[in-house]
Amino acid sequence: MDRIHILDKDFEVSIKNETIQERVKALAERINQDYEGKNPIIICILNGAFMFAADLVRYLTFQPEILFARFSSYEGTETTGQVKEVMGITTSLAGRDVIIVEDIVDTGITMYNVLPLMRQKGASSIKIACLLQKPEKLQVDLAIDYCAMEIPNDFIVGYGLDYDGFGRNYKDIYSLAK
């Protein structure tokens, strides 16, 4: 499927699953080198990162614990872009290495606000692994340790990412049609 229609918008395929898999595998190899023999906690940020996390962890050669968390952001209402933990972590992070797995870093505000929450829980190290980043849109000082792909400033769906709740199921990534 090269074109899809979701609600009122048309999207065209921009990153095929074969490419996604190559990039995810290459990212996993970097993570494998850094965490060999360790048992970090991987936190998959719902909803968008579910597919990326599912593929990423299958390429890992160490033994992580895998947890899930969900945050809601108050976009538009607050310039600080505060996030609220909607589904939190109940496992202790004290003294643990944590890898946050996120679908996409856009303005970076979500991750910027999530990091202190993880630090408060006592993690000894925290790294961010994202599938995608839009470098042109980054608004905050955020170190992204692992990023599979950088993309231009387009709105995308598929491979976990949604437009108004739909489109997450596609194995390829689609951009808004011009």
Question: Which of 8-16, 52-60, 97-105, 117-125 is the region at the interface with ligand IMP (rule: CB under 6 A)?
Answer: 97-105
55 has catalytic annotation: no
Label residue 36 left, alpha or beta by phi (over 0 means left) and psi (-120 to 50 means alpha): beta
> Annotated catalytic residue: which of 55, 97, 103, 106?
106
Q: Give the number of residues written for the chain.
A: 178
Site string for ligand IMP, 117-156 (x = CB under 6 A): --------------------------------------xx
Provide, rounded to whole angstroms, the least separation between the CB of residue 113 and ligand IMP.
8
Q: What is the DSSP letter of 140?
A: S
Question: Which of 59-67, 80-88, 102-110, 131-139 is the region at the interface with Mg ion (rule: CB under 5 A)?
Answer: 102-110
Strand order in the sheet with 173-176: 3-6, 9-15, 173-176, 156-157
Q: 98-132 burial by CB neighbour count: b if 16+ within 10 A, else e?
A: bbbbbbbbbbbbbbbbbbebbeebebeebbbbbbb
Provide, rounded to whole angstroms, the least separation between the CB of residue 74 and ligand IMP.
11
Q: Report the catalytic residues.
A: 106
Binding residues for ligand IMP, rule: CB under 6 A, are 48, 102-110, 155-157, 161-162
